[in-house]
Amino acid sequence: MKPEYASIIGVLVGALIPAIATIIVAKIQRQPKEGSDPAPTIVVVGAYERPPKKQSLWSRSVLFVVGIAGALVGGYIGYLVSVRYGPTTSITADSLPVTAPVVCSFSSELSARHAFPPGALTGVITSPIHCETGLLSSIYSPITVEGNVGKLPFNTYAWLFVYAPDGKYYPQCNDVPANKSNCTLSGEWSMRTYFGDECKSYFLVLVSTDGGGKKFLLDTMDQWEANKSYTGLRGDELKPYEIEELYSVQVETGNCATETPTP
């Protein structure tokens, strides 16, 4: 369902509740008090009969409260519908392929990587772009990778991997182990990402996983941090976990095109 449809539903519900309340209040006003005889109705031509003040004030107060409640309930229902059925980020159809089909012409070669099953969720890496070269990054100097992810179901987490020339995956995290919540991605995201040597080709891989995969990745990164040894993960080590690929780009570090080969 489109978000604008959700808004229309919310407005209709908000208008319907006060209308129903008006009918109920009108019926209550018409009913005589229990145990009393209905007073005869006298019609005087040209006269104006003012309704009782207490009854008018009471009815207006009820309608006012019910109207406010109706608007709030209608807006909340519209919000729930839009959250349930509407996208949380703007992702165009042109940015949805799992892997860009263009083959990059890099001076460095990259071994064939383990391919994760394609995911049904939407996600994209917007910076750097596919086949970008000259990235000034190392194991001590990160670059900022940016992108966005569509609405994630419950117990589903998005993650950024770096696939290195050694044939291993390196999960990224903005702040480990101090704040593990900065490892997973949602909505529009950015991630400080570390590469290794210059003039090397890498893949940036956006994936999704479940709670079991998230726990494995966090535990592994904590172990690397404790041992001060970041050994990476082979494809077969990740295979037992529910990991799906959403998007990937290939990039190259350093200004390799202008470097003079060493004899």
14/165: higher pLDDT: 165
90/8: higher pLDDT: 8
Helical H runs in 86-195?
none
pLDDT band at 182 (very low <50, low <70, confident <90, very high): confident
Helix, strand, coil % in the chain, rounded to nearest 5: 35, 20, 45
CA distance 50 to 43: 13
CA distance 98 to 249: 9
pTM above 0.85, yes or no: no
Q: Given a cut of 60, is residue 7 above it in pLDDT?
A: no
Domain coordinates in residue numbering, the chain: 3-85, 93-258
Query: For the domain 93-258, what is the CATH code?
Result: 2.60.40.10
Q: Given a cut of 80, is residue 1 above it in pLDDT?
A: no
Phi/psi zone of residue 86: left (φ > 0), alpha (ψ -120 to 50 degrees), beta?
A: beta
Per residue in 135-156, pLDDT tens? 887 667 788 999 999 999 999 9
